[in-house]
Amino acid sequence: MIKKATREAYGEALAELGKLNKDIVVLDADLSGSTKTSVFKKEFPERHINVGIAEADLIGTAAGLATCGKTVFASTFAVFEAGRAYEQIRNTVAYPKLNVKIAPTHAGISVGEDGGSHQSIEDIALMRVIPGMIVLSPADAVETKKMVYAAAEYDGPVYIRMGRSGVPVLFDENYDFQIGVANTMKEGNDVTIAATGLMVAEALKAAEALKEEGISVRVINVGTIKPLDGETILKAAKETKFIVTAEEHSVIGGLGSAISEFLSEVYPTKVKKVGIYDKFGQSGTGAELLEKYELTAGKLISVIKENL
């Protein structure tokens, strides 16, 4: 299977967008080689600003440019952007509803060797709670590009969570992404896996393996964490026995929380969460860490079998 990092697709999408829209401006905090905003910088050096290792300035400058009619994409690593610049995101971008796209890379533990200090497992929770913030988490490179285009068209703050490692390409160019719409990738009537990010590929693997054992698994790619596609989630809750959520993020405040919160009010359903259980990451290869923290198809299979 072809693999490609979501950050690679992000850089390409920015460069394409820059040709279509002269008001696209891209900012980075001295990590353009890693975030791949360097691809845009090569094409449009006059519209790329490196603010240096100053994440609060990154967001403040982005907000200022947005007040001048620019559509701004601001990037660094997720742990620095969602964490260090949180107050600026809240007060200078979200509060006045400015047209800034907060687009970090290197989210989750698959960052690998950089270790727990650099592995953002809290960013979805932090961004979800900000009023009016759109929160997106692509499953592959194709969905990333579609999200970047959708974010550019949307007037207001958007958070796009991207990773470091190559992930399987699941979609083709005909895939239609819309903000707020979850994508049912596989039908099933025994159990539902609602997954986001790199866990979508693991969910599909688990579904294929369980099919051999006569267990029918529905797989939903929740590319938009907020606003949650309640209609698709409710349909799954009514048509399958329970829901398993899968995310490369803490189970506190992430996708699992969002789905649990929604269903508890409209249609109480058993929700089992596969994610990171109140721990920091550590150093190791991305593959080793995903195995250690049980973010795998194998874990999804065992959770489903235990609860059926």
Give one DSSP letter per residue of 79-134, joined into a string: IIIIIITHHHIIIIIITTT--EEE--BSBSGGG-TT-GGG-BSSHHHHHHTSTT-E
Catalytic site positions: 55
Domains 3-168 and 183-307 share a fold: yes
Which pLDDT value is given to residue 1? 84
Backbone torsions φ then ψ of 140, nearest 5 degrees: -155, -175
pLDDT tens digits for 144-156?
A: 999 999 999 999 9
- pLDDT the model gives residue 307: 97
Catalogue the long-range contacts made by 176-179 (C-beta closer than 8 Å, 24 or more residues apart). Answer: 176/146, 177/143, 177/146, 177/147, 177/150, 177/223, 178/150, 179/134, 179/136, 179/150, 179/151, 179/154, 179/224, 179/227
Q: Which CATH number fits domain 183-307: 3.20.20.70, 3.40.50.920, 3.90.1640.30, 3.40.50.150?
A: 3.40.50.920
The predicted structure's pLDDT at residue 14: 98
Residue-level pLDDT, tens digit, the chain, 308 residues: 899 999 999 999 999 999 999 999 999 999 999 999 999 999 999 999 999 999 999 999 999 999 999 999 999 999 999 999 999 999 999 999 999 999 999 999 999 999 999 999 999 999 999 999 999 999 999 999 999 999 999 999 999 999 999 999 999 999 999 999 999 999 999 999 999 999 999 999 999 999 999 999 999 999 999 999 999 999 999 999 999 999 999 999 999 999 999 999 999 999 999 999 999 999 999 999 999 999 999 999 999 999 99
Q: How high is the pLDDT of residue 173?
A: 92
Give the CA distances from residue 70 to residues 85, 87, 97, 231, 236, in Å, rounded to whole numbers and listed in that order: 20, 21, 13, 34, 40
What is the per-residue pLDDT across 70-104, written as a single tens digit (0 to 9) for each? 999 999 999 999 999 999 999 999 999 999 999 99
- CA dist 95 and 35 (Å) reads 26
Domain boundaries, the chain: 3-168, 183-307
Superfamily of domain 3-168, CATH level 4: Thiamin diphosphate (ThDP)-binding fold, Pyr/PP domains (3.40.50.970)
Q: What is the pLDDT of residue 29?
A: 97
| pLDDT at residue 187, as a whole number | 98
pTM (2 d.p.): 0.97
